[in-house]
Structure 1
Amino acid sequence: MTKLSAKARARLASLAISLSFWLGGVSLVAIKCVAYFMSGSELIKASVFESLGDVMSSAILAVTQMRVRDQSDMHLYPTGKKRFTPLGILFFSAFAVSTMISLIIENIEKLFGPEPQKTPIFSSKCAFLQSVEQCFSPRSSEEEERRELLTRLFDEQPRLRQHLGSTQLEEMIESYVEEEAAAEAAPHSLVVLLFICILIKAFLLIFCLYAARQADSEIARTVSMDHRNDILGNGLVLLIVAGSAYCRSTGQGGDWLDKVDPASSMLLAVYVLVCWMSTANEQLRVLSDKRAEEEHTEAVVKFTQERLANSGFALTKASTFHVGEGYAVILDLTAKESVKMSATEIAVFLEGLEQAVKSADLEAMEVHAKLRTLNKSNSSDSMAWVTEYR
């Protein structure tokens, strides 16, 4: 297999991310909004917010990364802009958590509150779509049969008409027939829309896996895992919607069937809530200057020791802390007795070490190298005078 060039790999990874955003994010939100408009299903409403969260988090990442790459105002941010992305995600996390809590409360009221007046779940949302469809398509034989059956019933049982005139009776029959037709047509359209969402995600999963393998892109591999999880989630939504529609069409089930939609919506909202709370906790962790993981500190120590080899200086302690998406590094050094350097030379050496750590693949946004000397009491004193020359 021919190995791609660096430019081709970067272009392939960028294409995978762009397709994931526009095709797997924005288009799915639009499709699910249409599905919610058709059905009014609380489950699909929760699924819309789940997809919207993916789109918004991707948009926040794109905008903040653009701000981070902007070098025109770096003098205003001496320690870098790595806090922008966590702050943006934390802001949207608060919105997503509050929205999911509202959705959970709403579904709890529907599950345990007073029984609402039962109406066909698809009839009100599909009235507009049904009227448009009737303008361009002839009436089906099933609709004609329903109309004839209702007309014959009222003709044979005049008392059912009560005080309704002929015009009012015709309007009532017409309205009932249209609602029944819409209620039957909507579940099929809904299943088709949800199936299209799964097909889109499946295509993106295959493409991102291909991009991850060909371009050796870790971000494409991460995005492919997100597509895989979305396929499972959307498949579960499709299964519940299709199962509920089948039970209604065959007359199976009972009052419990009306609880399936709010119950499944509540469970999905709880799942999304937990995910966003975990994300918010992660962003708070990186924004609080928490001590970095041992793996990162060990990598810094290894790089610094290799850099200090045969230099006359030794690393006594290394501390790393989170600074947004990057890290702050503090290095404590001691000089060997054989070192004969002036203060200026020491200052230049420390500055070079700091720049080397920043340039290494350690995500270090700020580095502070401090030179210490051991006195007779074996305590460590900082050679602060060196900073005068830096």
Structure 2
Amino acid sequence: MDMSTVEETRQVSGIDPLRFPSNKPIDSSESVPLFADCAGKSSPVNVDDSTVKEMDESNARLLPRSPAKYGYLEHIQSYKPSCTPNDKSLPEKIRQFYADQLEFINSVEAILLPKTFGEEINPTDYQKQQERNSEILSMLTLITNIFVAIIKTVAAIMSKSLSVISTLVDSAVDLLFNIMLIWTARKIKRQDAYKYPTGRTRLEPVTIVIISVIMCSASIEVILESSRALALDIDYFANPFNASSCRTLQHIDMSTLPVIAMVFTIVSKIILFALCSRINNPTMSALAEDNRNDVLSNSVALVCGVIGSNALQRRIRQEAIIVDPIAAIIISIYIIVVWIRQGHKQVRRLTGLTADPFFLQRITHIIYNFRPDLVTQIKTVQAVHHGTDFIVEVEIILSGSTPLAIAHNAGEELQRQLQRIPHVERAFVHLDFEIIHVPTLEDIIV
């Protein structure tokens, strides 16, 4: 089979990136067989020169662009002018679709486009910059949480507000969370190829799971204490006060210092949320979500604490004092729900959750554009979570007559190319010369 037949068949049976089933759900328990034929046989057709010329002219009118030099990269790039996510006249869903397509095209270009000597960039520079930014933000968050915990402790002692106390518990656990994240980052950096051959990136999600358990336990204690205080307040108003009764309302004093402490906490958490949201990794996502939750919980605590203080001083109806323990219960329940969701997400990643379809598409197109003179088919593409990053496993089909040295070099080159993709920790490339093997007979499925 000559090389022209291979290239012709690849052009005819190509994969359209805008028609790839990106919304199709993928079962994490199964591999993803993607049989993309890259070579085939064509039956000879006897045509004269005039017919061939006429066909070429017709094709030139229908396909003004010549076949891509790097497989279908130019074909993928040809869709970029059609993607207009900034066109306000289009519906929101269509603009989001175009934005997703542009992101996909740019991500494929980042790997496949050749670079000159002056433009060659270390593929890990971006990841290193992200890691440095994560470290800086982790330290900044730690310093902020230390200061917030100190002033909030003073505010809780002075105000005696249960809603403020509930946010103090949250801040104390946040401080512990930051300390554990910094410890985790240092452990991950100290790689030991003998004890941990695949790295220790799974320490991050394990830390988040542990913190979620601690946060939920602390919030349950706040709920119990707030429920007791709420029951006493309700009993106080249900049974009119008399001279022989010793029941009193809880003391709440939201003076200037507690209010300033709460306002400072809200403003600082808003700034940290905006900064952490710019970095896409599980640690910063957890910090961003935690800062957002702190903004909401501290805002509710401030408002309800002020209402309770004014109710105790009879500036408003005294019955409004029950707002304070109710707010503490609501804040604690909200914290529990948020951290349970965060912990559940990390547990799924620890147990080998498959990558999303967008990530699998990206890998598939990169493989499809790799060495069209050697690769005849793509048999399997898998990508599963390995802590914060992915383990990628692919199987490609080569001709049975390919020399071992050439096949080995091709597999090694593809492995390096896949490991240039951000968040790919390791890539494994399997080479085969036929596709009749059943995956269940070759792979161990637990």
Instruction: State the TM-score, normalizing by the size of structure 1.
Output: 0.66
- For 1:362 and 1:302, the matched residues in 2 are separated by 16
Matched residue, 1:168: none
In the alignment, residue 21 of structure 1 is paired with which amino acid?
Answer: L
Report how far residue 75 of structure 1 moved: 2.1
Provide the C-alpha distance between the structure 2 equivalents of 1:78 and 1:13, rounded to a whole number of angstroms. Answer: 24
2:390 and 2:266 map into 1 onto residues whose CA distance is 39
Distance across 1 between alignment mates of 2:383 and 2:194: 24
Deviation, 1:323, is: 1.0
Deviation at 1:22, TM superposition (A): 1.1
Asked if the contact 1:327/1:366 (under 8 Å) is kept, the reply is yes
Q: What amino acid is aligned across from residue 340 of structure 1 in structure 2? A: T
Residue type of the partner of 1:240? C
The residue aligned with 1:276 is 339
Kindly, what percent of the aligned residue pairs are identical? Answer: 19
Name the residue aligned to 2:121.
none
RMSD between aligned residues? 3.6
Q: Distance in 2 between matches of 1:120 and 1:381?
A: 70
1:244 aligns with 2:308: yes
Q: Which residue of 2 aligns with 1:32?
A: 152
Q: How does 1:176-255 map to 2 (within 5 A)?
A: 187-201=255-269, 208=275, 227=291, 230-254=294-318
| Paired amino acid for 1:111 | L
Distance between the aligned counterparts of 2:423 and 2:161, measured in 1?
45
Aligned to 2:383: 320
Against the structure 1 CA distance between its residues 245 and 106, is the aligned structure 2 distance closer, same or farther, given a 3 Å change threshold? Answer: closer
Distance of 1:62 and 1:85 partners within structure 2: 10
For 2:83, the equivalent position in structure 1 comes to none
Matched, 1:340 2:402: yes
**Matched residues in 1 for 2:272 and 2:390: separation?**
33
Alignment of 1:131-210 (within 5 A): 187-201=255-269, 208=275
Kept in 2, the 8 Å contact 1:299–1:362? The answer is no
**Is residue 374–residue 380 contact of structure 1 (8 Å, CA) maintained in 2?**
no
Q: Which AA in structure 2 matches 1:369?
A: V
Moved more, 259-268 or 234-243: 234-243
Question: For residue 325 of structure 2, what is the aligned residue in structure 1?
Answer: 262
Taking the aligned partners of 1:11 and 1:86, their CA distance within structure 2 comes to 19
CA offset at residue 322 of structure 1?
Answer: 1.1
Correspondence for 1:290 among 307, 330, 353: 353
SS at match of 1:79: coil
The alpha-carbon deviation at position 97 of structure 1 amounts to 1.2
How do residues 354-369 of structure 1 correspond to structure 2 at under 5 angstroms? 354-358=415-419, 360-369=420-429
The 3 A distance-change label for structure 1 pair 118 and 22 is farther
SS across alignment from 2:198: coil
Q: Structure 1 residue 14: deviation in Å? A: 6.0
CA gap of 1:194–1:325, structure 2 versus 1, over 3 A, is same
* Structure 1 unaligned regions, length at least 5: 1-5, 123-182, 385-390
In the TM superposition, what whole-angstrom CA distance separates every residue of 1:185-223 from its partner, at most 9, and x where no partner exists?
x633322322332344456568x49xx8xxx76579966
CA deviations over 1:259-287 (Å, ceiling 9, x no partner): 22211100000000001101110110110
Residue in structure 2 matching 1:69, options 183, 189, 199: 189
Mapping for residues 53-64 of structure 1, pairs under 5 Å = 53-64=173-184
Aligned-partner Cα distance in 1 for 2:229–2:312: 19
**Residue 228 of structure 1, CA deviation:** 5.5
Query: Against the structure 1 CA distance between its residues 65 and 205, is the aligned structure 2 distance closer, same or farther, given a 3 Å change threshold?
Result: closer
1:349 aligns to 2:414 (yes or no): no
Match of 1:22 among 115, 120, 143: 143
1:121-132 correspondence runs (5 A): 121-122=250-251
Deviation at residue 56 of structure 1 after TM alignment: 3.0
1:333-352 per-position Cα deviation (integer Å, ceiling 9, x unaligned): 11135x5312x543343234
Structure 2 residue runs without a partner (length 5+): 1-125, 237-245
CA distance in 1, matches of 2:310, 2:406: 81
Paired residues of 2:308 and 2:322 also in contact (CA < 8 A): no
Q: Which residue of 1 aligns with 2:63?
A: none
Alpha-carbon offset, residue 21 of structure 1: 3.0
Between Structure 1 and Structure 2, the one with more helix by share is 1
Partners of 1:335 and 1:281 in 2: CA distance: 41
Deviations 1:216-236 (A, max 9, x none): 765799667765654443222
Q: CA deviation at 1:301?
A: 1.4
Change over 3 Å in CA distance of 1:55–1:81 after alignment to 2: same
Matches within 5 A, 1:71-150: 71=191, 73-112=192-231, 115=235, 118-119=247-248, 121-122=250-251
Q: Which runs of structure 2 are paired with 1:361-380 in the superposition (5 Å)? A: 361-374=421-434, 378-379=436-437
User: Would you say the 8 A contact 2:399–2:433 is kept in 1?
Assistant: no
Q: How many angstroms does 1:112 deviate by? A: 3.6
Structure 2 CA distance for partners of 1:330 and 1:191, relative to 1, 3 Å: same
**Paired residues, number:** 304
Scaled by the length of structure 2, the TM-score of the pair is 0.59
Q: CA contact under 8 A between 2:266 and 2:299: conserved in structure 1?
A: yes
**For each residue in 1:132-177, what CA deviation from the matched residue of structure 2 results, as whole angstroms up to 9, or x when unmatched?**
xxxxxxxxxxxxxxxxxxxxxxxxxxxxxxxxxxxxxxxxxxxxxx
Displacement of 1:364 in angstroms is 2.1
The residue identity in structure 1 corresponding to 2:360 is T
**Whose Rg is larger?**
1
